[in-house]
Structure 1
Amino acid sequence: MLKLIFWLLLLANAALFAMQKGYLGALYSDGREPTRISKQLQADKIKLVVVDAASVSAAGTAPAPAAASTAAAASVSSAADLAPVACTEIGNFSASEARRFSSQLAERTPTLKFVRREIQEVASHMVYLPSLGSKEAADKKADEVRRLGINDFFVIQDSSALRYGISLGIFKTDEAAQKQVASLAKRGLSGAKVGTRSVSSSKVAFQLRDMGGDAKLAFDKIKIDFPSQEVRSCP
């Protein structure tokens, strides 16, 4: 029994000695940070690097100098590719609109040449039969028109050159008036004509010469503020 106790004590002392010398270190790890670091390869060369989030964001969003130069060159090229147009007309403006348009044009394109043109805009068109010369002749013609089944008319009795003529309709556009003339002819009434019934107040159109490049781009932007105005070739 004493021998057994002796050998157990001897083994315990031997195990304690081996632990102190580190002979049993490969068999287990205590999990503590100093122990793990001491076992890393070249642990003394590990460095902590601090990264600035603002610089990372700027680096991710700022365009490269080459890309910015390319975009600028493309913009200049697109303006240069717009060949000058000999003459472009835009209108018809009221007096107040004309002042506003010419002001923007002078401000944004000071070197662009333009000419202001006054226009008399037709307000309406009348389909009519010319004067019959007397009331009796006009009444007789009116009876003939009724017999053709046409009832939308009246005898003109003012002091104009059309007195004792017959009005067969008032139309906003010349195209609509011409269609009425054709329709009346199909129903057997010939000799109808189209004339201007009234003229509106003067309108203004602008003719722009040799417009191209940056001037054309500026004009297109100004035009957005005047959506109802027609752009056309100069007459």
Structure 2
Amino acid sequence: MKKLVWLLVLINVGLLAYFNKDVILPSAPKAALLAIHPEKISIVTQQQIDALPKKGVAATAPTVAAITPPSVEVTASTNPASAPATCYEWGVFSAANLTNAQAAVSNLSIQTTVKEQSSLEAKRFWVYKQPLKSVEAAQAKTQELKALGIQDMYIVQDARWKNAISFGVFEDEQLATKLLNELRAKGVKDVVKALRNQGKGHASLQLNKLTDTEVIELKKLKPEFPEADLKEVTCS
């Protein structure tokens, strides 16, 4: 009898819970249904669609400032570095030879300035070998001297000293004496040191800012003017 009573109680409790589950258990949210009104539906044109504001897009796009890198001014050198130039003094010349020397330099398109010399400044000491009988004999002798290790020399073409072999002209007598001794030590015979013009020269030529090519051409004139010394000086 008791079992029947408890069974009925359980059945009643179950039925009560079943019919009241919406109250006992939380229900899921229900989306509200929108009422549809056909009379309010209208057809829009493409222009009206384009006129609608775009969601999430700003009406006016922000202006982006263009960043222009600073210009770099490149200055091209219009005057390329020229070859270094040097200045020379050539002399001393007698009155007669000065005119000839100026003409020879003028043929090389080199501008000169005449520098007057005092008697003391005009002295030049010359180291040379006496003139030989012919140019062929002089050339043969220079080949013999080159075999002894001597390179700095030339055959004189001046009329008075034609075919002599010059080793150098110096203002300083000590330098001339030093060269003389060196030549003799190498076996050069009959070499002479002498006072070339005995202070009777008149002037020398100043040659400013010569290029290497001009110096080479100028040295080719030495055989014609054996009394003159070509030396590098400070440009004024």
Scaled by the length of structure 1, what TM-score is found? Answer: 0.33
Higher share of residues assigned helix = 1
The higher radius of gyration belongs to 2
Scaled by the length of structure 2, what TM-score is found? Answer: 0.33
